[in-house]
Amino acid sequence: MRNNPDSARRRLIQLLGSAALLSGPAGVAQAVNTLSGFRMVQQDNVMLHFDLSEATGDASLFTLTNPDRLVIDLPDTRMAESVTPESFSQGAVKGFRFGTHESGKLRVVIDLRRPVNASFRFVARQVGQRLIVDLGVKGNPELAEYKARITEPAALRDVIVAIDAGHGGKDPGAIGQRSTREKDITLKVARRLYNRLEKQPGVKPVMIRNKDTYVALRERIRIARDKHADLFISVHADAFKRKAAKGSSVYALSLKGASSEAAAWLAEKENEADALFGDIALDGLSQDLKQTLLDLAQNSTLEASLEVGDDVLSELKKIGAVHKPSVEQANFAVLKSPDIPSVLVETAFISNLQEERKLNSPRFQETLAAAIQKGVMGYLSKRAPEGTRLYANKG
Ligand SMILES: [Zn+2]
C-alpha cells in the first residue's frame, strides 16, 4: 500500500469504530452507503472506479499473495443489487467478487494475474463520492473498459390520479327537477378535487376533461392510460326514478352482474351516452378485451378498486348520508381499465330536490371534493405504487 500510513491508520480506526457502533446490541447493521457504480478503466495504469452514494471517505485496502488479490473494505456499505461477480479472460484483473460482513462492511476482492502496487484516493461527486484505485500496473488499452451493470435507481415519481368529470358536451347526464345538469356539477366537483390533490406532496392529478366537452367512455379510459394514471376516479351525480332516493354511493366494476337492481339500472344509464352518441357499442368488445376483463376478476385491480372505494365511501359517510353502506358493483364501461384501479363516485342524487340544491352549493361541492381527496389519500397511504415518492416515504 502506497497510501499515507497515517491516513490509512485513521481509516482503519474509523472502520473499526463504525463497525462496532453499528453492530449495536442486536448485532444488526444497516448499510447507509451504496456502491452504485463500478468501472475498470485500462489507461496508462489499470484503474478501478467505485461510485458511492455517500461521501464517508471510509475505505481500507490491502493485498494478499498466493494467489494475488487486492481486498477493498468499505464500511457500512451495500452493493447495488444488480451487480454480479465477473471474471475477465485477460489483463491484470482476473475478476472480482464481493460479500457483505455482518457488521455491514462490504468486502470487494479483486482477483489478480500478477502483483499490483495499489493506491487510492476519493474524489467528490455531485452526489456521494468516487473511490479511485490505481493498481499501479500498466493497463492494456486494447481491452475494453469494463462497466458493471449497475442501474442507478430511477428517480421517484408522483402517483398520478385521473379525475373524470362524468358526461359533458352533448351529453348532459342526469337533469334535476330544477334543470341542474349533471355534467356541470361533475366538472365543478372534479376541478375542486383536482385543486386539492394538486396540493398533496407526491400526487399529480390529471383531468380527463376540463371543459364542457363530450368524451366517449372508452376515450376516457384511453386518456387515463396515456397519462399513466395509477388511479381513476369518475365523478357523477346520481339520478333515480324514485325521487326520494338520496345519499352518496361508490361503485367499482362488476364482471358478473350488478350488486343491486338500482346499480344495474344506473350502470345502464351511465353507459347509455356512448350508445346514444354513436360510440362503438360496448357489447362489441373484442374477444381479447373480454378475456382481459375476465382475467381482471382474478387480478388485483378490482381488489384495489374496492379498497379505494371503501376509503372514499368511509369519508363520504362522515359528511352525510350514504345511499348504501358498502361499495357497490356494476358494469360501468368507464371502470373497465384492466390495470388501473377505478371507482365511480355518485356524489348525491341530482333527482332529489334537496340534494339538487346542495349539489349547486360551492360549499357542498368543496365538502364532497375534500371527502374524495381524503379517501384517495387514505388509500395511497397504504397502497401507493412502488417507485413513487409516496411509496418510498411510507417507511
Ligand atoms: Zn352520471
- Asked whether residue 150 carries a pLDDT value surpassing 70, the answer given is no
Cβ–Cβ under 8 Å, residues 163 and 206: yes
Q: How far is the CA of 51 from the centre of ligand 1 (A)?
A: 55
pLDDT at 169: 96
C-alpha 84 – ligand 1 centre gap (Å): 55
Distance 322 CA to ligand 1 centre (A): 17
Q: 283 CA to middle of ligand 1, Å?
A: 20
Q: Distance, CA 238 to ligand 1 centroid (Å)? A: 6
Fold entry, domain 159-393 = Aminopeptidase (3.40.630)
How far is the centre of ligand 1, averaged over its atoms, from the C-alpha of 199 (Å)?
Answer: 27
Q: Give whole-number Cα distances, 35 to 94, 95, 132, 200, in Å.
A: 21, 17, 13, 33
pLDDT digits (tens, 9 = 90+) for 287-309: 666 555 555 544 668 889 999 99
Task: Report CA(182)–ligand 1 centroid distance (Å).
Answer: 7
For domain 5-147, the question of CATH label 2.60.40.3500 is answered with yes
The mean-pLDDT minimum among 5-14, 270-279, 362-371 falls in 5-14
| Averaged pLDDT, 132-159 | 80
Ligand 1 centroid, distance to 226 Cα (angstroms): 23
Ranges of beta strands (E only) in the chain are 33-42, 45-52, 60-64, 69-74, 77-79, 86-87, 93-100, 106-112, 119-124, 129-138, 146-147, 159-165, 203-207, 231-238, 249-253, 328-330, 342-349
Cα 356 to middle of ligand 1, angstroms = 14
When pLDDT is cut at 50, 70 and 90, the band that residue 200 belongs to is: very high
What is the chain's Cα-based Rg?
30
Which range among 184-193, 272-281, 340-349 shows the weakest confidence by mean pLDDT?
272-281
Cα 153 to middle of ligand 1, angstroms: 42
CA of 234 to the centre of ligand 1 (A): 9
| Gap from CA of 225 to ligand 1 centroid (Å) | 21
Q: Is the pLDDT confidence value at 211 over 90?
A: yes
pLDDT at 28: 37
Question: Ligand 1 mean position to 273 CA, how many Å?
Answer: 9
* Inter-CA distances, 116 with 42, 47, 67, 95, 124, Å: 14, 11, 12, 14, 25
pLDDT band at 10 (very low <50, low <70, confident <90, very high): very low
Q: What is the pLDDT of residue 322?
A: 87
Domains 5-147 and 159-393 alike in fold = no
| Span from the CA of 296 to the centroid of ligand 1 (angstroms) | 24
Give per-residue pLDDT as tens, 70-114: 999 998 888 877 778 888 888 899 999 988 888 888 999 999 999
Query: What pLDDT score does 43 carry?
Result: 79
Q: Which residue from 46, 63, 15 is spatially nearest to 132, judged by alpha carbons? A: 46
Beta strands 86-87; 93-100: pairing state: antiparallel
Q: Residue 244 Cα, ligand 1 centroid: separation in angstroms? A: 18
- pLDDT reported for residue 21: 33
pLDDT of residue 7: 42
- The pLDDT score that the predictor gives to residue 151 is 60
* Average pLDDT in the chain: 82
Q: What is the 3-state secondary structure (H, E, C) of 65-76?
A: CCCCEEEEEECC
Average pLDDT on 42-49 reads: 88
Residue ranges of domains in the chain = 5-147, 159-393
- Give the other-Cβ count within 10 Å of 131's Cβ: 22
pLDDT exceeds cutoff 60 at 50: yes
Residue 211 Cα to ligand 1 midpoint, Å, equals 16
> Cell triple for residue 44?
496508462
